[in-house]
Amino acid sequence: HRDPLEVAHSLLVKRWAESLADGVQVWRDYVSEIVEFLGEMEQARHLTIPYSDLLVRPEEVARAIGHFLDLSDVGSLERFLLGQREGPTPFSDPVTDLAAAYRKRAPRPANRHALALAGIAAERLGYGRC
């Protein structure tokens, strides 16, 4: 999952939302459905991973995914995740090193109003606990 404010900012930059609040509401609509669905499942049957963890600690995330899937060898998964940092599968404008881009970005101040719009889904995923 990705931070609702990061998603909203991205939607603004791409002109897919008219305001930060609109972008957060788009995030809320999609993520709320997912959180509700996962809430109906046993905790052991799903894994949630913050996007920031994937970018900053891909090896650790690969091990967590491998453990969750009960894989005996997570090497290929690790190589895939690390490869995505250098040559990501293009879904939009490619970035050559996602982790570096994520680290370089100036931290955005928490916008409590926007986080409030994100609702309980954001709270359950750990956003807004500043």
The answer to whether 29 touches 128, Cβ cutoff 8 Å, is no
CA 72 to chain CA centroid, nearest Å: 26
Mean pLDDT across the chain, nearest whole number? 81
| Tens-digit pLDDT profile for residues 111-121 | 677 777 788 88
Is this structure's pTM higher than 0.85?
Answer: no
Model confidence over 61-76: pLDDT tens digits?
Answer: 999 999 999 998 888 8
What does the pLDDT look like over 17-41, one tens digit per residue? Answer: 999 889 999 999 999 999 999 999 9
Q: Tell me: pLDDT of 110 over 50.
A: yes
Q: DSSP letter string over 15-79?
A: TSSSSHHHHHHHHHHHHHHHHHHHHTS-GGG-----HHHHHH-HHHHHHHHHHHTT-S--HHHHH
